[in-house]
Amino acid sequence: MPADDLPLPDHEPAVLSADSGPAVSQGTGQDADDFGGLDDFAPFDDAGTDSPDAPLADGGADASFSNADSGSDFMDFGDLGDLLGSSGPDLNPDDAEPDLGEFDLGENAAPDPAADAMGDFLDTLPNDPGAVEEPLDDISEDAAPPDELPADDDFSMPEDLLNGLADDIESERASADTGDLGDFGSDLDLESLPDFGSDEITASDENTSDIEIPDLDEDLGSFEDAEPVDDVPAAAGADEESMDLSFDEGDGGFDLGGESLDLDTSSMGGDTFDNFNLDSDALKADFNIGSDIASGDAAASSGFGDDFGNLEDFSLPGIDNVFNGRTPGAAPGQAAPAGTKGAVVDEADLLGEVEEISLTDEDFGKLQDTLASYPLNLRIACEELIAEEAVSPDLMSNLIKLLVRGAPAKETAALAGKILGRTIPIPKGFEKKTGEELEAEQASFAYIFVHNFLPVLRLFMGIALVAVSLGYLIWNFIYLPQKAESIYKKGYERIAAGEYGRANDRFNEAFGIHQKKDWFYKYAEAFRDERQYIYAEEKYDQLLYYTASKNKRHIPEKKAVLDYANLETNYLRNYAKADSLLWRNILDYIPYDRDALLALGDNNLAWGEIEPARYEDAREAYAKLLENYGRTDPVLERMLKYFIRTDNLGEVLPLQNYFMYSEKRRITAPTLAELGGYLLDKRTEEVRGVPNEYRDSIGGIRDVLLRAVRSDTMLPESYYHLSRYYEYYGNSNDERLTLERANAAFDAAREETPRRLAYRIDALRRYAGILINRREFFPAEEQLVKGVHLYEDGLSRRILKSSPAYGKLYADLGDLEYFVKDGDMRTAIGYYRDSERTGYAPPEILYRMGAAHYQLRQWPDALNRFFAASSEMPLNRRILYALGNVSYLRGNYHAAQGYYDRLLEILDADRSRFPLIMPTDNEEQLELAERLMVAQNNMGVTLEALTERTGSNSYRSRAQGLYSDSERAWDVMTRNPLSMVRMRPSPEITAPGVNPAYLNVQNSLHPVPDYEPQFFLRIDKDVLEPSPWEGLAPPAFHLSEGLSSGR
């Protein structure tokens, strides 16, 4: 409290002796409340405040109030500002923030001389509390209080308010706990101020040597966590921030130090204290004040907490009537426990009529404990109200009641703020307790759970939640996708290894871990390329279901539907299923979808090769595209293919000119190749009936095919049709080169259509024919075998149908066995039969089959084959000779006679072309002579057999004449044309050294028992004259080299 606000004393202050410490003097330059400034205080030391049992400051043990030496009637608590001196904090809200300097609260702190001012202050207490306060500087020794004050300003206390206080103090001094009321005792020494920080403050800030205490009016009334009191409206502009300067119960009592309660009676008024007597003798007797002060004992004047703490019998008159005989804060008829909190003060009860306040020792202890438990700003406010403010008795009574019953800080702050007219903020959650209560609370399960277990649990749960969340994210978005990807790849590799079932199991395993759409396409395409179409269909079915489940309309993904339809169209030829897929999954929802209509037209176009009626459905789909999307190159290209398939040359030629007019016109290489092949077919086809009127307009075939080659160098159809073009125009060298490129392209390309497979097989056969003509028989055989395998595979998969064109593969293989290789006639017959099953069985093949049977001495089969061949071709020398021999060997002599007769007629006609057959080197004449020799001899043998069978000698007579003609032909063949020396007709050991006809004539003239007629057994290997195979693989024998004896 500023010095200007001090009350005027009613008597001259006592003068202290020179050795009693600093005395308040009017003549000094120092005010009565000046402690010499706070800058001289020692630094803050925690050593002296470790526990309630810490030793008191020097001289504190002897600090007491003496009745004998007291120079005043009553000890005035005064103003906190008076106690702190001129440099202390001014609790007036309008004053500036003080500079408290540094505190030294150590155990051995030296007493501050300013504390002696307390004794001087007591001497200045006015007898009349209502005296007008004037500044100390204007007070003179002769000043006297005014005679009268208005009745409303009578602030005198009841005379009997503190009756009996001194006796109680003396009686309880020895047994009193120094911690109970130590707040008003020796700890008043500012140099030994108590530890403002509780254990919590000490724990949070170990370095407390430089604590700065803010303005007690402004800053202490505003804390960071303060909450406004509901009962009192918050002052405008009140500072929301506050500092918690609470005290800990462990400091050893309520030690205000410099902030000791200053009960200035000048601030009290009213009726309650009307009987209060400030007689100095009473104060001396009650408080034992004066002896020590008068003696100038500095230590005694430094504090009064120890003696004051033993005032257990302190009482306020009328307090029992105020509480109506019950414990403060309890319901009527029920005693409330000390320290009860949270009670709401009823304003109507608070404003009731209040009598004199009387406090028992227990109530006073409760009041002191309650003040110690409050935050510093509230505690100062309460002290200010009790000590110096003019408070109406009813409000003072209510405040005392709240303090006695241990009301919560918020409740007390509401009342104090209402009295002071300002908001007293309370830090959020502030609650001071004694050490025992704190220990008891800390030992409770709730405290341990909330302050020890719950934070750890909360931290653990937070860490666990983060860990679980992180683990969940890693598991679901990193580990599982990576694991599934690895399993997908392993299964995909099994497809190439041929383990299709295991690959499918791997896919199902990975799909159960992590679903990924792309792997459906990869697995389906891999199964398709490996021709595992069942697995491929299964994957596409799963893909359609998977993609349909991902949208609300349950429509599968368009790409999946198109790929599935492509599989059914180009690989499985299941055109009906492809048509159903397109309609049900796309066109039913989007009737004019561009991609779906193109796929539908392509499917019907391929379907039309089996069911020509489907061509019209294809045209309708392309017409919709033209109508909705205009004349685009892709649609015109498909229309071109439609006209090619329907053999509409008149529409094909304009579209050919359209696309060939500029390279910028977009057309695919397959369509160009198909166009070139179609134009070549129309050019080379055999004209039957009226020729096509546009046939002569065909041109530019080679340009079309070359553009197809440039557009796609790996397209096999382009090379295939180009090789046909070279074959047609007789360019065998370019044909061979083009076929080589075509076969390489076919090997690299995937099989997509039956047309491509048929082209590939034909290219292999044609290339094998070129190799045979070049006498590269073994490479040719490899090409033919490859072609046979492709054909049989296509046939088994129902991609190809049996056709005579594929039979040429078997026929060529049979020819290689029959003409070139070791002469395995059974293998040759097998190939010929395969060729015959395909529908390819020309007369020469039938003859070769008969000749193979003939060499195996299977006469009936040979006769049947020879006869079948003779029925499909004009009879020539070779087939007649074969028919005659096999008929004779079968015993059909009459049939043999007829064939030989026809053969001899042909031979005689041939001989007539030559003037005379003589020994010569002419191959044609020698060949004719040989045929005459063997035919005439075999005819004679047949006639002799008829003679034996029929008994007619006419057959024998003719036979002898034929023998003679055969002898002359033999002679021509065996003589050297120059030397005329006879030679063997053949170098073969089996060739007769003697003319067989001669032997037969001798046996006819001179029969020999068991004689077997000499018969020329060998026949021609090929029926064709001339035979291409005889030029490639000339026969190793002549007709005259094989003799047979017997029938």
Please indicate, yes or no, if residue 458 is contained in any of the structural domains. no
> Phi and psi at residue 427, in whole multiples of 5°?
-55, 140
For residue 904, which of 831, 961, 948 has the smallest C-alpha distance? 961
The helix (run of H) or strand (run of E) holding residue 227 is: strand 226-227
Please indicate, yes or no, if residue 641 is contained in any of the structural domains. no
Question: Within this chain, do residues 831 and 883 fall inside the same structural domain, yes or no?
Answer: no
Q: Is the pLDDT of residue 832 over 70?
A: yes
- Position with higher pLDDT, 244 vs 667: 667
Alpha-carbon span 885 to 865, nearest angstrom: 13
Q: Is the pLDDT of residue 44 over 80?
A: no
Amino acid at 165: L
Cβ-contact 9, 68 below 8 angstroms: no
Q: Is the pLDDT of residue 205 over 50?
A: no
Alpha-carbon span 952 to 946, nearest angstrom: 8
Residue 463 region by backbone torsions, left for phi larger than 0, else alpha for psi between -120 and 50, else beta: alpha
For the chain, the domain total comes to 3
pLDDT the model gives residue 392: 83
Q: What b/e readout covers 884-894, taking b as 16+ CB neighbours within 10 angstroms?
A: bbbbbbeebbe
pLDDT the model gives residue 210: 43
Read off the tokens for 39.
Answer: 């800058």
Read off the tokens for 1001.
Answer: 């004539």
Where are the alpha helices (H) located in 268-375, listed in sequence order? Answer: 280-287, 291-294, 298-301, 305-308, 319-323, 347-350, 361-373
Please indicate, yes or no, if residue 596 is contained in any of the structural domains. no
Please indicate, yes or no, if residue 547 is contained in any of the structural domains. no
Q: Is the pLDDT of residue 543 over 90?
A: yes
Q: Is the pLDDT of residue 48 over 50?
A: no
Rounded to whole angstroms, the maximal C-alpha distance in the chain is 206
Q: Examine residue 804 and say whether the peptide bond preceding it is cis (omega within 30 degrees of 0).
A: no
Mean pLDDT of 613-634: 94
Alpha-carbon span 380 to 396, nearest angstrom: 15
How many residues does the structure list for the chain?
1047
For residue 247, which of 290, 183, 295, 316 has the smallest C-alpha distance? 183
Lowest-pLDDT range of 172-176, 693-697, 882-886, 1021-1025 = 172-176
Q: What b/e readout covers 427-462, taking b as 16+ CB neighbours within 10 angstroms?
A: beebbbbbbeebeeeeeeeeeeeeeeeeeeeeeeee
pLDDT the model gives residue 988: 52
Question: Within this chain, do residues 780 and 873 fall inside the same structural domain, yes or no?
Answer: no
The helix (run of H) or strand (run of E) holding residue 837 is: helix 825-837
For residue 354, which of 402, 405, 320 has the smallest C-alpha distance? 320
Tokens 């509401």 found at: 414
Mean pLDDT of the chain: 73
% residues pLDDT > 70 (the chain): 62
Helix 533-548 crosses helix 518-529 at what angle (to 10 degrees)?
Answer: 160
Mean pLDDT of 747-767: 89
Q: Is the pLDDT of residue 705 over 60?
A: yes
Alpha-carbon span 118 to 77, nearest angstrom: 9
pLDDT the model gives residue 312: 43
Alpha-carbon span 83 to 116, nearest angstrom: 10
pLDDT the model gives residue 89: 40
The helix (run of H) or strand (run of E) holding residue 1016 is: strand 1014-1016
Please indicate, yes or no, if residue 686 is contained in any of the structural domains. no
Residue 123's CB is within 10 A of a number of other CB atoms, namely 24
Q: Is the pLDDT of residue 138 over 50?
A: no
Question: Within this chain, do residues 929 and 1039 fall inside the same structural domain, yes or no?
Answer: yes
pLDDT the model gives residue 1001: 83
Instruction: Please give the torsion angle defined by the CA atoms of residues 396, 397, 399 and 405, in that order, rounded to the nearest 10 degrees.
Output: 160
Pairing mode of beta strands 1014-1016, 226-227: unpaired
pLDDT the model gives residue 197: 41
Residue by residue, what is the 3-state secondary structure of 183-226? HHEHHHCHHHCCCCCCHHHHHHCCCCCCCCCCCCCCCCCCECCE
pLDDT the model gives residue 444: 84
Q: Is the pLDDT of residue 797 over 90?
A: no
Q: Is the pLDDT of residue 871 over 90?
A: yes
Alpha-carbon span 520 to 441, nearest angstrom: 67
Please indicate, yes or no, if residue 740 is contained in any of the structural domains. no
pLDDT the model gives residue 303: 39
The CATH number given to whatever domain includes residue 1046 is 1.25.40
Q: Is the pLDDT of residue 986 over 70?
A: no
For residue 156, which of 125, 127, 129, 126 has the smallest C-alpha distance? 129
Tell me the whole-structure pTM to 2 decimals.
0.56
Mean pLDDT of 518-526: 95
Cβ-contact 163, 11 below 8 angstroms: no
Question: Within this chain, do residues 834 and 873 fall inside the same structural domain, yes or no?
Answer: no
Q: Examine residue 1026 and say whether the peptide bond preceding it is cis (omega within 30 degrees of 0).
A: yes
Question: Within this chain, do residues 762 and 835 fall inside the same structural domain, yes or no?
Answer: yes
- Position with higher pLDDT, 824 vs 1046: 824
Residue by residue, what is the 3-state secondary structure of 26-64? CCCCCCCCCCCCCCCCCCCCCHHHCCCCCCCCCCHHHCC
> Phi and psi at residue 391, in whole multiples of 5°?
-115, 135
- Position with higher pLDDT, 207 vs 447: 447
Question: Within this chain, do residues 78 and 145 fall inside the same structural domain, yes or no?
Answer: yes
Alpha-carbon span 644 to 605, nearest angstrom: 11
Question: Within this chain, do residues 64 and 10 fall inside the same structural domain, yes or no?
Answer: yes
% residues pLDDT > 90 (the chain): 40
Mean pLDDT of 898-927: 85
Domain containing 958: what range? Answer: 869-1047
Lowest-pLDDT range of 283-292, 483-492, 563-572 = 283-292
Residue 172's CB is within 10 A of a number of other CB atoms, namely 19
Question: Within this chain, do residues 804 and 947 fall inside the same structural domain, yes or no?
Answer: no
Please report, for residues 562, 598, 634, 1013, the alpha-carbon distance to residue 592 in angstroms, rounded to integers and kept in the order given. 15, 10, 16, 88
The helix (run of H) or strand (run of E) holding residue 1015 is: strand 1014-1016
pLDDT per residue as tens digits for the range 949-965: 988 888 988 998 999 88
Task: Choose one of 371, 400, 431: the last residue of a domain.
Answer: 431
Alpha-carbon span 1008 to 399, nearest angstrom: 172
- How many CA atoms lie less than 13 Å away from 727 in the CB half-sphere? 19
Cβ-contact 117, 85 below 8 angstroms: yes
- Position with higher pLDDT, 723 vs 81: 723
Facing residues of 100 across strands? none
Q: Is the pLDDT of residue 82 over 70?
A: no
For residue 764, which of 805, 802, 800, 795 has the smallest C-alpha distance? 805
Q: Is the pLDDT of residue 849 over 90?
A: yes
pLDDT per residue as tens digits for the range 86-112: 333 443 434 444 343 443 433 444 444
Read off the tokens for 233.
Answer: 């409206």
Question: Within this chain, do residues 235 and 106 fall inside the same structural domain, yes or no?
Answer: yes
Mean pLDDT of 446-465: 88
Q: Is the pLDDT of residue 376 over 60?
A: yes
- Position with higher pLDDT, 947 vs 990: 947
Q: Is the pLDDT of residue 449 over 90?
A: no
Mean pLDDT of 546-554: 90
Mean pLDDT of 675-694: 89
pLDDT the model gives residue 975: 79
Q: Is the pLDDT of residue 266 over 70?
A: no
Tokens 């500079």 found at: 99
pLDDT the model gives residue 556: 94
Facing residues of 185 across strands? 304
Please report, for residues 41, 184, 303, the alpha-carbon distance to residue 62 in angstroms, rounded to integers and kept in the order given. 22, 14, 10
pLDDT the model gives residue 280: 41
pLDDT the model gives residue 353: 52
Please indicate, yes or no, if residue 666 is contained in any of the structural domains. no
For residue 937, which of 892, 987, 992 has the smallest C-alpha distance? 992
pLDDT the model gives residue 679: 95
Question: Within this chain, do residues 959 and 1009 fall inside the same structural domain, yes or no?
Answer: yes
For residue 878, which of 912, 847, 852 has the smallest C-alpha distance? 847
SS3 assignment, position 1044: strand
- Position with higher pLDDT, 517 vs 190: 517
Q: Is the pLDDT of residue 714 over 80?
A: yes
SS3 assignment, position 857: coil
Mean pLDDT of 426-453: 74
Residue 92's CB is within 10 A of a number of other CB atoms, namely 17
Question: Within this chain, do residues 61 and 194 fall inside the same structural domain, yes or no?
Answer: yes
Q: Is the pLDDT of residue 311 over 90?
A: no
For residue 569, which of 538, 601, 613 has the smallest C-alpha distance? 601
Q: Where are the beta strands (DSSP E) in 72-200?
A: none
DSSP 8-state symbol, 66: -
Alpha-carbon span 311 to 162, nearest angstrom: 11
pLDDT the model gives residue 348: 42
Would you give the end-to-end CA distance of the chain in angstroms?
164
SS3 content of the chain, % helix, strand, coil (to 5): 55, 0, 45
Task: Choose one of 431, 450, 465: the last residue of a domain.
Answer: 431
pLDDT the model gives residue 23: 36
Question: Within this chain, do residues 241 and 310 fall inside the same structural domain, yes or no?
Answer: yes
Task: Choose one of 431, 449, 478: the last residue of a domain.
Answer: 431
pLDDT the model gives residue 406: 85
Q: Is the pLDDT of residue 461 over 50?
A: yes
Lowest-pLDDT range of 199-208, 628-637, 715-724, 759-768 = 199-208
**Angle, alpha carbons 122-124-130 (nearest 5°):** 110
Please indicate, yes or no, if residue 636 is contained in any of the structural domains. no
Q: For residue 983, name the pLDDT band (cuts at 50, 70, 90).
A: low
Lowest-pLDDT range of 25-34, 413-422, 596-605, 760-769 = 25-34
Q: Is the pLDDT of residue 1029 over 80?
A: yes
Q: For residue 31, name the pLDDT band (cuts at 50, 70, 90).
A: very low
> Phi and psi at residue 446, in whole multiples of 5°?
-65, -45
